Structure formats: structure tokens, C-alpha cells
Amino acid sequence: MLIALTVLGCTKDEAGDSGLDAETQAIVDELNTALEDHESWSQAPEWDGIQPSETVHGEWTEIWFNDAAYSTYEAQAGGDMPDGAIVTKQAYGAEDGSGLLNHTTMFKKDGAWFWASWSPEGDLQEASFDAPSCSGCHAGGQDSIMVLTW
Ligand code: HEC
């Protein structure tokens, strides 16, 4: 049934219980698995540990890069992030990392960024390649990454 709906180009409202179409749900599932150990991923010297945020994300943010993203940064060879790159960020209300405000993620897939965000309770609030509320603001960064250049 889900597959049939997807072929017909269903909207979010018509899709499965999660409210997501099957393709989006598959990407979210892949992301959730990848993010299980994200607090052990690399952090950049430019944004090491919890730093005061420069924007809407919250007062304080902490950012991690998976191997694909971090090795691209380390290579300092320019270009865009490769498929499979994940950059993920937690925002907090306090410098000591208490008071989680949100968890946002960028995932490079088929040459484009998939944008996702979760509430402190883990509810999915954004999950899309087409997320103007994220991408518009990020357009100023190298391949839409705000905290690093490579
Ligand atoms: C008002 C501008 C703005 C909006 C809207 C915005 N961001 Fe950001 N984002 C930033 C800035 C600036 C940073 C750098 C870190 C900081 O200051 O907290 C950042 C950092 C990030 C990072 C860490 C990687 C990087 O780019 O440096 C992720 C992941 C991220 N944002 C995801 C998202 C997602 C997902 C959305 C939409 C739900 C979103 N952002 C909306 C401005 C924005």
C-alpha cells in the first residue's frame, strides 16, 4: 500500500503512520541508525565542544562530523561534501550541555543535503531535501556548512 501511494506521488498527509512517504522514512531510518553513536564522532577545532551559537539554533551548540565529512574537512581540498557525509548538531540552553533544545542534522545523499531536525523529546520536526527554512540560512556556507571551510 505504501509503495502504491508513493508511486502515485502521495503527500505527507496521505503516507504511513509516521506521516512520511516511504522514501523519506527510509532515509530517516538510515540516519537514526548512523546517529546512534554520534557523540563519539569527530569535532572540528573551529567548533570543539559546546560553543556559543551564532544563530537561531539555541544559546549553545555542539557539532559532530562523521568520517566522510571529517576526512573531507581534513583533506582541505575544496569542493563539496561527498555522499554519506553527516554533520549533526545539538543545541542546549546552558553552557554545561543541559537543557537540550533541538537536534539538527545534514545528510549528503545523491548529491544533495537532506535536512532533519528533532525536538528534545525526539519528535521529528523536519525531514526533507527541500527545507527552505534550513537551506536558505545555510546558503552562505561552503556547500551549506556554516562552521567550517575546507
Ligand atoms: C537563521 C539561520 C539558520 C537557520 C534557519 C538554520 N541554521 Fe543551521 N546553522 C546556522 C549557523 C550560523 C550555524 C553555525 C553554528 C551555530 O552558530 O550554532 C548552523 C549550524 C548547523 C549545523 C552544523 C553544521 C554547519 O552547517 O555548520 C547543522 C547540522 C545545522 N545547522 C542544521 C540545520 C537544520 C536542519 C536547519 C533547519 C531545521 C537549520 N540548520 C536552520 C544557521 C541557521
Q: Alpha-carbon distance 73 to 56, whole Å?
A: 24
- The answer, yes or no, to whether any atom of ligand 1 lies below 6 A from the CB of 101, is no
- The answer, yes or no, to whether any atom of ligand 1 lies below 6 A from the CB of 126, is yes
User: For 59-112, how does the pLDDT look when each residue is reduced to its tens digit (9 = 90+)?
Assistant: 899 999 999 999 999 999 999 999 999 999 999 999 999 999 999 999 999 999
CB 89 within 8 A of CB 118: no
- The answer, yes or no, to whether any atom of ligand 1 lies below 6 A from the CB of 81, is no
How much is the pTM? 0.90
Residue 6 confidence class, pLDDT cut points 50, 70, 90: very low
User: For 38-61, how does the pLDDT look when each residue is reduced to its tens digit (9 = 90+)?
Assistant: 999 999 998 999 999 988 777 899
CB 115 within 8 A of CB 135: yes
**Whose alpha carbon is nearest atom 41 of ligand 1?**
134
Instruction: State the distance from the centre of ligand 1 to the C-alpha of 38, rounded, in angstroms.
Output: 17
147 CB contacts (<8 Å, ≥6 apart)? 44, 46, 47, 63, 141
Q: What is the pLDDT of residue 10?
A: 41
Residue 106 alpha carbon, nearest atom of ligand 1: 29
**Whose alpha carbon is nearest atom 40 of ligand 1?**
134
Q: What's the helix, strand, coil split of the chain in %, to 5?
A: 30, 25, 40
